[in-house]
Amino acid sequence: MGWVSDTVDSIKSIKVREVLHQLIVLGMIVTTALIIWKGLMCITGTESPVVVVLSGSMEPGFQRGDILFLTMSKDPIRSGDIVVFNIDGRDIPIVHRVIKVHEREDTEDKYYLTKGDNNPMDDRVLYNHGQNWLEKKHIMGRAVGFVPYAGWATIIMSEKPIIKYVLVGALGLLVLTTKE
Amino acid sequence: MHSFGYRANALFTFAVTILGFMCALASFTDSFNSPSPSVQVQVLKVNWFQKQPNGNDEVSMTLNISADLQSLFTWNTKQVFVFLAAEYVTPKHVLNQISLWDAIIQEKENAKFTITTSNKYRFIDQGSNLRGKEFNLTLHWHVMPKTGKMLADKVVLPGYRLPAEYR
């Protein structure tokens, strides 16, 4: 019970000046994270420089919970590249490997067909009805590097939101009650 | 200042930093490996060759692929993804790249192989340009590390030609 009364005491003893200071520190942390994220977006040229693998369709290469670093450089996409793409009308991006490429000369249109390493069939079953090819506009980026397991925290937090709120609450309390 | 929480936090941050540093270092050691793979591919037989009802040419062939990719493996290699692609140019398309066969190699011992197979993925042109078409067969490999940067390279084998007539 000592811990609780200590906490209550420390909340009672908060002074305006200290609260302001803590808020500024908190703001600094949030803005730093934002700057890093936006900075990465500028360097890599993709709107999501880091993605978490959500399915086992690329096993044994990538497992659920691994994180991938993406770029969207001028280099053309070739078969064998692992790309992240978005099908029109669906929210969740997919990480799969390109197995076929056709590039038109006159219109400069590019057509890609993808497949998950662990799937028996190519991705035409995943595409929208009547869609045979991915085009440039569907591609969000190309995977260039990866770190295992590092995305598990994200998966847990998005699937069990209660853990996220508890964590944010605890951190908030910690920031407010910590003394310099 | 020296509470339990403070110390636990410092220890955790330090541990994660060291782990990240070690991962970066492990990935960096891959750049000292200069692999020397060898590849031979033969087209043994054209099984059939026809024009689909929608006007696209399709061909099926039997391939003999032998390769030694053992030198690609380092201590930071999780797997090697290897695939054989047919590459050719047509009047309308500046690039056509069609994967015909692929495999995942997880053990260095299995990286020296000879395989006879018909094409795993369908060899279909976007159009009707395959008769008498000259094409390259390219063996590509993508090295997936245990952690860090992914590496890729290829061997281009030029000078293959499809039959002049459907069969």
User: Which residues of A are identified as catalytic?
Assistant: 57, 96, 123
Select from A79, A104, A111 the Cβ nearest to the Cβ of B99.
A79
Residue B80 counted as domain residue: yes
Which residues of chain B lie closer than 8 angstroms to A99, CB-CB?
Answer: 83, 98-99, 102, 121
Number of H helices, E strands in chain B: 1, 9
Q: What per-residue confidence (pLDDT) applies to A34? A: 94
| Co-location of B134 and B65 in the same domain | yes
Question: Are B150 and A100 inside 8 Å of each other by CB?
Answer: no
Determine the longest span between alpha carbons in chain A, in angstroms.
77
The CA distance from A126 to the nearest CA of chain B, in Å, is 17
| Co-location of B56 and B138 in the same domain | yes
Which residues of chain B lie closer than 8 angstroms to A106, CB-CB?
Answer: 92
- The rounded distance, in Å, linking the Cα atoms of B32 and B20 is 20
Condensed to tens digits (0 to 9), the pLDDT of residues B135-167 reads 999 999 999 888 888 888 999 999 888 888 888
CB-based contacts of A57, cutoff 8 Å, min separation 6: A94, A95, A96, A116, A117, A118, A119
- How many CB pairs lie under 8 A apart between chains A and B? 78
Interface of A with B (CB under 8 A): 60-62, 78-80, 82, 97, 99-106, 111, 117, 122, 143-148, 174
- The rounded distance, in Å, linking the Cα atoms of B37 and B52 is 38
| Co-location of B25 and B37 in the same domain | no
Nearest chain A residue to B20 by CA: give it.
A147
Q: Where are the domains of chain A?
A: 2-44+154-177, 50-149
CATH number at residue B141: 2.60.40
| Co-location of B22 and B41 in the same domain | no
- The rounded distance, in Å, linking the Cα atoms of A55 and A43 is 27
Q: Which residue, B117, B5, B141, B143, is CA-closest to B65?
A: B117
Q: Which residue, B145, B12, B77, B13, is CA-closest to A66?
A: B145
Q: Do A105 and A170 touch, CB atoms closer than 8 A?
A: no
| Co-location of B97 and B149 in the same domain | yes
The CA distance from A179 to the nearest CA of chain B, in Å, is 8
Question: Are A79 and B92 inside 8 Å of each other by CB?
Answer: no
Q: Between A161-177 and A152-159, two packed helices, what is the crossing angle to 10 degrees? A: 110
Q: Which residue, B92, B86, B66, is CA-closest to B135?
A: B86
| Co-location of B48 and B17 in the same domain | no
Question: Are A144 and B102 inside 8 Å of each other by CB?
Answer: no
Number of domains in chain B: 2
Residue B126 counted as domain residue: yes
Tens-level pLDDT at each residue, chain A (180 residues): 577 787 777 767 667 787 788 889 889 999 999 999 999 999 888 888 888 888 888 888 888 889 899 998 888 899 889 999 988 888 888 999 999 999 988 888 899 999 998 888 888 888 888 888 999 889 999 998 888 888 888 888 888 888 888 988 888 787 767 655
Residue B167 counted as domain residue: no
Residue B154 counted as domain residue: yes
| Co-location of B116 and B146 in the same domain | yes
CATH, range A50-149:
2.10.109.10
Note down the domain range covering B51.
33-161
pTM score > 0.95 for this model?
no
Residue B90 counted as domain residue: yes
| Co-location of B67 and B94 in the same domain | yes
| Co-location of B67 and B95 in the same domain | yes
The CA distance from B16 to the nearest CA of chain A, in Å, is 11
Nearest chain B residue to A81 by CA: give it.
B142
| Co-location of B4 and B52 in the same domain | no
Q: Which residue, B5, B28, B61, B13, is CA-closest to A171?
A: B5
Q: What are phi and psi of A174, to 5 degrees?
A: -60, -45
- Compute how many other C-beta atoms are within 10 angstroms of the C-beta atom of residue B120: 14
Predicted ipTM > 0.85: no
